[in-house]
Structure 1
Amino acid sequence: MTNERLRSAMAAGGWTYSTLAAKVEVDPKSVERWVNRGRLPRRATAVLAADILGEDVHILWPALRQARAARAVSPELVALYDQRADVPVTTFVDLLAQARERIDVLVYAAVFLQEAYPRFNTLLRERATEGCTIRIALGDADSPNVQQRGREERFGHGIESRCRLALLHYQPLAGVPGIEIRTHGSTLYNSLYRADDQVLVNAHAWGVNAYGAPVWHLRRDPGGRMFDTYAESFDAVWATASPVQED
């Protein structure tokens, strides 16, 4: 569905996809999708664009009147799994294997990837060789937050041991061009497995092991905010994490 109101407003003011995109600081392809596919920009971006065009934002995008209301299904939600144990390891592997620009992994240990897919480090090396920027954030076994999680999940020192095991798995990648490994001590509300504009989010619930908690698969959408929320969360944790040095 096209947005003819927006097309007319741009034509009246002599705006092109590129010139309007430059003003509102988005990609010209995003503006093209607003016009030709009826995509909904973020509210702040839409307000700025409407102001530049001299139009009422709700005239250009009537759907924004209801955009603050809860939606039954987010356009960013690809799939929802009852628990991580229901997600085939191949789903994680295939997602990361498709990455062309960025892979971000935020976990405490997640040794299931290395154990179920022995070529996991090779996959990451291959992605880095092809130009991917790869960031792996693992739990610091000495962190009080990691140790507290073990008590909450009645896992004792097992989670600390798994953090150390995860570090042993990933240590050979330290120093590989394009790959950086760090350890963090943050409270882990969600484990994140990002590949470009997609992410698998393993939500955590108090007292529940990660494999028993839900997973949702998100894909970034111009009209959504969920993907960016998790991407920004990763960046915030990464900024506090400590680099792992080569052996």
Structure 2
Amino acid sequence: MPNDRLREALLRNGLDLSDVAVATGVDEKTVERWITKGRTPYPRHRHKVASMVRETENYLWPDALPPERRAEVAQSEVINVYPHRSAIPLDLWTRLLAHATEQIDVLVLAGLFLAEEPSFARTIKQKTRDGLKVRMLFGDPDEDEAVKRSGEERLASGTVPARIRNALALIEPLAEIDGVEIRYHRTTLYNSIFRFDDEMIVNMHVYGQPGAYAPAFHLRLLPAADLFETYTTSFEQVWTESYEADFGRKA
């Protein structure tokens, strides 16, 4: 069976058979068999190709690793676990933002704590000039999901929609910058996701507690792992169902 994931990943990154052959030290015919016949490369070759196309080995070759090995690798993806999102040091957020050079993806209901950070908008403006791509998904404050969330977090009625509107007011100027996309979603979120290149903060949502009090963990992307990929896939699914921001209507 052809490996369409590998084929698509190579095309997306502008790579051909010869590029992969040179990088891995194998014949072009071998690379072609990886694609057309679905042959599984040796581990050292999988690692190299996955790095070239910025995908995980598990995505490109789902059956390459046994379940027990996947569990071991997943543990290596976790850099740190925080009992509450508010316990994450400010300098970690600052470092992640400062070191991101290719992409930042944010999936939140409000994310007001991030929007209120003065360096956030300033750094985004600077880095997009150098090619950084930013995608931000905010909950639609007029949708039932946002209204309902106030009660689920034991907050005063209308608190979550108000926080979303405050966050939108702060990040609205970014919508005019090339390289920044801001969209709305009406998803019932189970986690907030903050991706900075190959690192990610996942803020788990806990019924009865606001996001700041819920646990969070810090992940890194590893070629042979799929924990990071799980949340990346979740972000992409919400992005697919999102819709254009209308700041005039939400103001």
Question: TM-score by structure 1 length?
Answer: 0.76
TM-aligned CA deviation for residue 130 of structure 1? 1.1
Alignment of 1:209-228 (within 5 A): 209-228=210-229
Bigger radius of gyration, 1 or 2? 1
Alignment of 1:127-166 (within 5 A): 127-155=127-155, 156-166=157-167
Structure 2 letter corresponding to 1:209: P
Q: Which has the higher helix share?
A: 2
Question: Any conservation in 1 of the 2:46–2:57 contact (CA below 8 Å)?
Answer: no
Structure 1: which 5+ residue stretches go unaligned? 1-14, 35-39, 48-56, 58-62
Distance of aligned partners of 1:110 and 1:41 in 2 relative to their CA distance in 1, 3 Å threshold? closer
- Structure 1 stretches of 4+ moved >6 Å: 26-30
| 1:123 match | 123
Distance of aligned partners of 1:140 and 1:198 in 2 relative to their CA distance in 1, 3 Å threshold? same
Alignment of 1:41-120 (within 5 A): 41-42=57-58, 45=61, 64=66, 66-67=68-69, 70-71=71-72, 74-115=75-116, 117-120=117-120
Q: 3-state DSSP class of the match of 2:167? A: helix
- State how far apart, in whole Å, the 2-side matches of 1:187 and 1:142 are: 14
- State how far apart, in whole Å, the 2-side matches of 1:103 and 1:22 are: 33
- State how far apart, in whole Å, the 2-side matches of 1:43 and 1:134 are: 23
Alignment of 1:161-200 (within 5 A): 161-200=162-201
Over the aligned positions, Cα root-mean-square deviation in angstroms equals 3.1
- State how far apart, in whole Å, the 1-side matches of 2:44 and 2:246 are: 40
Question: Any conservation in 1 of the 2:73–2:224 contact (CA below 8 Å)?
Answer: no
Structure 1 letter corresponding to 2:69: A
Question: TM-score by structure 2 length?
Answer: 0.74
TM-aligned CA deviation for residue 91 of structure 1? 1.3
Structure 2: which 5+ residue stretches go unaligned? 1-23, 49-55
CA deviation profile, 1:188-228 (whole Å, cap 9, x unmatched): 11111101111100000111110111111111112211111
